[in-house]
Amino acid sequence: VIDIRKLYAQSDAFTYDPGFTSTASCESKITYIDGDQGVLLHRGYPIDQLASQANFLETCYLLLHGELPSAAEYEKFESTITRHTMLHAQFDRFFDGFRRDAHPMAIMTGAVGALSAFYHDSLDIHDAQQREISAHRLIAKMPTIAARAFKYSVGQPFVHPKNNLSYAENFLRMCFAVPAEDYVVDPALVRAMDRIFILHADHEQNASTSTVRLAGSSGANPFACIAAGIACLWGPSHGGANEEALNMLREIGTPEKIPEFIAGVKDRRYKLMGFGHRVYKNYDPRAKVMQTSAYEVLAATGRENDPLFQVAKELEAVALKDDFFVERKLFPNVDFYSGITLSAMGFPTTMFTVLFALARTVGWIAQWKEMIEDPGQKIGRPRQLYTGATQRDFVPLSQRG
Ligand code: ACO
């Protein structure tokens, strides 16, 4: 058996691989993707089975611990997460410092990074118990921070967590209830929200997860690392695509405008957002589940005839028959239908990537823990291919003309 790590350590090989299309940066036991077959497994379990049979907190436990929880383990985990949902009272002032029209992703990046200023007691990354507490704090506090960013942007008072509700129900209540109001969340929306969280929970070494690992490889604390991941996720080629995909559907507006739009994509004036993936070259298994969720949410909210949904379905049908997309193996990704679903639930587009960040936090923290607990872990330090000037002598300012 060849020990691949030994082989690499001994080798002087130097690879130039922009965008890391064929370089593995780590070993991992968390998530498996077969892009050609459209397979996504978390700890061996297919994503469609998790989305239809597990809930988000069970999925979190699975990602963090490697196995599905027993009933007793689940109960303990749920109660631990519930205990950590509140934010420090000082956070009120922190939020007040942002402009009301700040993008909620800007607030998320700042607020999550600031958690390291509030929770000094769980910053020792070499202590397994502290790593565990940080993981719980992050998973528990993300919905509270996300809901708070939302309420702040719409100018409404914050609704505190209600801990006898499920993770998804509690989050939807914090977003859409008004304080002191009796507010009951539609169970169909709770299930859809939970499923959306599961679909986004982890996706191996994507850009934001690699960012979290790279930041963590220097020994930075977990809150700072997750803030780095959130910043990376914000980009339109990554998590920001869900916002862009819905804006695109709105811009197209009606099915009749699709041919004109497709012509623009082929002329490379713009991309078809929510299409294409670095790894999936057959289909994105998450997109199928997301499309089903879109149907369910539109039915639950009485928007079955939503014109954007008609545009999306027609656009998908046209693209899947068009040689340009077929040759390049471009298929809908998870973001194509998520915008329509979240919009029907009442979220503005600026919240879409925030919800992605909330759900991906467990993946980021599971990957961060796995890296810290790997005895072979080293600081991440890519090399470069230098193409600049060769050595030359300094010319003083007075002689440079
Ligand atoms: N629309 C039109 N053309 C596209 C698209 C698209 N969405 N995606 C790729 N292409 C084309 C490229 O122009 C390129 O064409 P060429 O070979 O003629 O030059 C070819 O397909 C290959 O594309 P690459 O950019 O090399 O593929 P890469 O793997 O680097 O990019 C990415 C993947 C970034 C996801 C890309 O498909 C994209 O930008 N999609 C739109 C944004 C999006 O939906 N992102 C979400 C990804 S999923 C996620 O983060 C949850």
Which tens digits make up the pLDDT trace of 81-117? 999 999 999 988 889 999 999 999 999 999 999 999 9
Percent of the chain with pLDDT over 70: 97
Rounded to whole angstroms, how far apart are CA atoms 65 and 373? 12
- The number of beta carbons lying within 10 Å of the beta carbon of residue 104 is 24
Residue nearest to atom 49 of ligand 1 (CA): 238
Helix (H) or strand (E) holding 46, with range, is strand 45-46
pTM for the predicted model, two decimal places: 0.91
The pLDDT value given to residue 125: 94
Q: Residue 182 has what pLDDT?
A: 82
- Reading phi first (left if > 0) and then psi (alpha if -120 to 50, else beta), residue 9 is in alpha
Say yes or no: CB of residue 276 within 6 Å of ligand 1. Answer: yes
Residue 275 CA to ligand 1 centre (angstroms): 7
Q: How confident is the model at residue 54 (pLDDT cuts 50, 70, 90)?
A: very high
As a whole number of angstroms, the distance between CA 154 and CA 286 comes to 30
Q: In the chain, pLDDT over 90 holds for what percent of residues?
A: 81
What average pLDDT does the segment 19-30 reach?
93
Give the strand pairing for 39-42 and 31-34. Answer: antiparallel
Per-residue pLDDT band for 208 (boundaries 50, 70, 90) equals: very high
Q: What does the mean pLDDT of the chain come to? A: 93
The answer to whether residues 291 and 283 touch, using CB atoms and an 8 Å cutoff, is: no
pLDDT of residue 335: 87
pLDDT digits 0-9 by tens, 277-326:
988 988 899 998 999 999 899 999 999 888 998 999 999 999 999 999 99
Catalytic annotation, pick one of 200, 203, 277, 306: 277
275 lines ligand 1 (CB under 6 A): yes
Residue 76: predicted pLDDT: 98
Q: Please choose from 36, 271, 289, 318 the residue to mutate so as to test ligand 1's pocket, defined by most ligand atoms within 8 A of CB.
A: 271
Q: How far is the CA of 323 from the centre of ligand 1 (A)?
A: 15
The 10s digit of each residue's pLDDT in 322-369 is 999 999 999 999 889 898 999 999 999 999 999 999 999 999 999 999
- Cα distances from 206 to residues 35, 200, 278, in angstroms, run 13, 12, 9
> Tokens 């796995």 map to which residue?
370
pLDDT of residue 7: 67
127-138 confidence digits (pLDDT tens)? 999 999 999 999
- Residue 33 has a pLDDT of 96
- 337 class by beta-carbon count within 10 Å (0-12 exposed, 13-18 middle, 19+ buried): buried
- CB distance 218 to ligand 1 below 6 Å: no
User: How many A from CA of 112 to the centre of ligand 1?
Assistant: 30
C-alpha triplet 57, 60, 61: angle, nearest 5°: 90
Catalytic (active site) residue 335: yes
Active site includes 277?
yes
pLDDT single digits (tens) 163-201: 999 999 999 999 999 887 788 899 999 999 999 999 999
Separation of CA 191 and ligand 1 centre (Å): 31
Ligand 1 site, residue 241, Cβ cutoff 6 A:
yes
**Band of residue 1 on the pLDDT scale cut at 50, 70, 90:** low
Instruction: Give the pLDDT confidence score for residue 9 in this predicted structure.
Output: 67
Complex-level ipTM:
0.95
Looking from the CA of residue 336, the nearest atom of ligand 1 is 44
Instruction: Quote the ligand 1 centre to 271 CA distance (angstroms).
Output: 8
Alpha helices in 97-240 (DSSP H): 104-118, 128-154, 167-176, 187-199, 207-217, 222-233
